[in-house]
A and B are shown apart, each in its own frame.
Chain A
């Protein structure tokens, strides 16, 4: 079975400071891991994905995440927050090459960016 725990329901940062959104996963198989972002009244958008290649994954808008198997973590980071980054972020897991298991979402982390 697969599951995801997002350790913070809400993170608040000042504009220009680093962002860290934490995610731990559990998977019976080698996982594929994703981060999606959801802005108000907009659809879910893929930020980045890990599928067993490089453990440090770069995504859109300056975000990146590092897969750490020993810690079963896939934390999302960004060096400098921008006001437009304020949104809901979801960590997602699915077994790599499973073929038959859909995406499993975490409960989300709401990111607030203070001017």
Chain B
């Protein structure tokens, strides 16, 4: 399967713990996006990378959130000191902007539950 891969698929953590999610984009894609989706809502943009550079961060991305894409391939999203309000589906997507493609391909997401 050459689609966008996210791990883990599910994560349950206690409030105050740190969690890290991983996203492996489609290999030739230079853009990688993180979105968050809560129940009954559409995905909300968090941040995105072009290659290894983080180009934009949403106001939703508090100081407890950090994302990296160190070699321009896979990306990690870390949430420190998790809160119950962080419970959501975290979606990763990738696209190939250089080829004129603005279509984003999404992974199946990581569902985070903070108890």
Contacts and interface: CB of A to CB of B under 8 A. Distances in A.
Interface of A: 32, 34, 36, 41-46, 49, 51, 90, 94, 96, 99-100, 102-108
Contact of B107 (A43, A100, A102, A103): A43
A43 B109 contact: yes
Given A43-B3, A107-B41, 9 more contacts: A32-B102, A44-B91, A44-B106, A49-B102, A51-B102, A100-B55, A102-B48, A103-B93, A108-B41
A105 B106 contact: no
Interface of B: 3-4, 33, 35, 40-45, 48, 55-56, 91, 93, 97, 102-109
Contacts of A51: 102
10 contacts: A43-B4, A44-B106, A45-B106, A90-B43, A99-B97, A102-B33, A103-B33, A104-B45, A105-B42, A107-B41
A42 B41 contact: no
Q: Which of B43, B93, B109 counts the most A-chain CB atoms under 10 A from its CB? A: B43
Contacts of B45: 102-104
A108 B42 contact: yes
Contacts, number: 50
B103 A46 contact: yes
Contacts of B103: 34, 46, 49
Contacts of B105: 46
B43 A105 contact: yes
A105 B44 contact: yes
Contact of B43 (A44, A45, A100): A44
A45 B107 CA distance: 9
B108 A42 contact: yes
Contacts of A45: 106
A53 to B, nearest CB: 12
A26 to B, nearest CB: 15
Nearest to B105: A46
A49 B40 CA distance: 23
A107 B42 CA distance: 4
Nearest to A45: B106
